[in-house]
Structure 1
């Protein structure tokens, strides 16, 4: 015990006596600005690499107002409203009111060659027309996250992995029939998970993602819809009398190529064009048959709080079959079709 105490005292004196020669902690008293450490350098290292002593330099003074954050953020909220009312209008017409709410929240981290992009998008619209029940006109929820590391110093290409989730919140109906839903939350739901390369041009707000290895999972968590084989899942097996022998599957997995592109282009001082494109094809099932999801929007700025928008949304999925009414009134499956949606709105926008 005595030898141990002597050894400890000797070691303490050694460190104290050599502090000046190896370096000592330097301090600068703050005068209005915050002081941050800029690095750590070893000045005593044991021969067994068990204990290292570090000197922290506090020589860089960064003003509180000027400290750089590695995060970039977007908080955008929109609300479009349209209304039509008639009083003694001899040409006829029905009173109606429509609302469309949009939310776009994004966070991007960039530091030392790493880039982490996260985005949450939600759009929901309703319409109330005289003599009809409240109807849903828009319902889209999407979460995207991609993480990448630059190929070379200051390169615009990144090795990337990407996760994407899409679904809706409320039930959808084939109006005027509101008894039986044709879609709902996670029916369908889509999950994309893959790796590839991402090209980013931040000044032009342009992104291109190429993934030769992407798994696409389709979920239909409504058993009735799954039994019908909706959205491409395997439908139920039935006997000659229509009784279900085996329930339909509630999920389907594919493995293929995913290409996505997003960009914004300022056309005029108050007009911005934005595009979001997604292309996917499966290696195993009908390779070369491409699923398309393309959204194109023109934003017209009126002032800092008001805007008008004109947009179109095109979708094509070979797994989504369209049904049409036959001569006897029954619904007959006629195969996939191009889905098109057009929208025009005027409303308010908040960028926080």
Structure 2
């Protein structure tokens, strides 16, 4: 929980810092004026995004000294909260409260055919039921950075290199067992690094990345989990009595092909579908077995501040084996399984 609090404070600091560095722009709709501190003369694109929210694109902020900035930024924050309470309810039930915080910050640089995209995503959810311990329901931290140069003038295709990093910030458990963790910060952690080609529409509604040269690194920086061979790393070697002869490896490297796609589509006036998918196959180990990370979310606008969302997240990794309990009570390693998560939320959404 300390990591979560620190990360939350860091996210607010990052947003504030970037906002100050690029010049804060405040829109006063009642009088139609723009306030521009720090001596900036902005070129502002104002519009409604696909979700119907009023947004600013800080495009080429020009200080009065004549220098030009080619940075654009987006800051999105969401908070979903739900609560259930019972008093003399004869059908029974348990008081509970849950919440999920989301953050999405984007920084994009464009100039003379060069494009540098940076995105930081963080989501964390908790649930508290009366008489039970706090339960983590969501934990996702992701950093993506890609650099490209357009194939030809005003082309939507770019020669591109891409780096991505994904992990979680706090320990996860197989509830109700909270004694032994099954995941934690950098256990696992994933890093993708590759080069290829990227297609991006000017309005950012569709993006496709193709990389035939990508290294995938999996980290399990918890020796107990590494010894168990969690998340596909090489497990420890043990003798007949279960004593460790050789420690398990804390990392695993693969070399293969990566395809990612992200698009947003407005399906009617107040609803948008967001699709993100990542497909990876290793050239050396079982080429043709595809690791899948697919997220599909429907966002519904209630008003300028309230929104609802429903989505599903599917993952499949052939290297991650599910542990099962045998009839005699022992735990054995089974095969790979499709991992599925579904979520529904109503809450506040802000774009700064």
Displacement of 1:34 after TM fit? 8.8
**Structure 1 gap ranges (5+):** 1-32, 36-61
1:85-113 Cα distance to aligned partner (Å, 9 max, x none):
11111111111111000000000111100
Corresponding residue for residue 194 of structure 1: 194
Work out whether residues 204 and 265 of structure 1, in 8 Å CA contact, stay in contact via their aligned partners in 2: no
Paired positions, count:
293
* Greater RCO (Cα-Cα under 8 Å, separation 6 or more): 2
- State how far apart, in whole Å, the 1-side matches of 2:309 and 2:219 are: 32
Aligned-CA RMSD value: 1.8
TM-score (normalised: structure 2): 0.81
Work out whether residues 80 and 345 of structure 1, in 8 Å CA contact, stay in contact via their aligned partners in 2: yes
Work out whether residues 148 and 158 of structure 1, in 8 Å CA contact, stay in contact via their aligned partners in 2: yes
- Pick closer, same or farther for the CA change 1:80–1:34 going to 2, 3 Å: closer
Corresponding residue for residue 180 of structure 1: 180
Corresponding residue for residue 166 of structure 1: 166
- State how far apart, in whole Å, the 2-side matches of 1:198 and 1:156 are: 8
Greater CA deviation, 323-332 or 285-294?
Answer: 323-332
TM-score (normalised: structure 1): 0.81
1:179-221 Cα distance to aligned partner (Å, 9 max, x none):
1100000000000000000001122511000000000000000
Q: Say yes or no: does 1:219 pair with 2:219.
A: yes
Corresponding residue for residue 301 of structure 1: 301
Displacement of 1:351 after TM fit? 0.1
Corresponding residue for residue 120 of structure 2: 120
- Pick closer, same or farther for the CA change 1:223–1:210 going to 2, 3 Å: same
1:40-91 Cα distance to aligned partner (Å, 9 max, x none):
xxxxxxxxxxxxxxxxxxxxxx896x99741111100000011111111111
1:230-283 Cα distance to aligned partner (Å, 9 max, x none):
000000011111110000000000000000001111111111111111000000
- Pick closer, same or farther for the CA change 1:95–1:196 going to 2, 3 Å: same
Corresponding residue for residue 247 of structure 1: 247
1:113-167 Cα distance to aligned partner (Å, 9 max, x none):
0000000000000000122100101100000000000001111100000000000
Runs of 4+ residues over 3 Å off in structure 1: 66-69
Pairing 1:235-274 to 2, within 5 Å after superposition: 235-274=235-274
- State how far apart, in whole Å, the 2-side matches of 1:86 and 1:341 are: 28
Work out whether residues 121 and 143 of structure 1, in 8 Å CA contact, stay in contact via their aligned partners in 2: yes
- State how far apart, in whole Å, the 2-side matches of 1:207 and 1:275 are: 11
Q: Say yes or no: does 1:208 pair with 2:219.
A: no
What is the DSSP-based 3-state SS (H/G/I as helix, E as strand, rest coil) of the residue aligned with 1:74? strand
Q: Say yes or no: does 1:139 pair with 2:139.
A: yes
Pairing 1:29-178 to 2, within 5 Å after superposition: 69-178=69-178
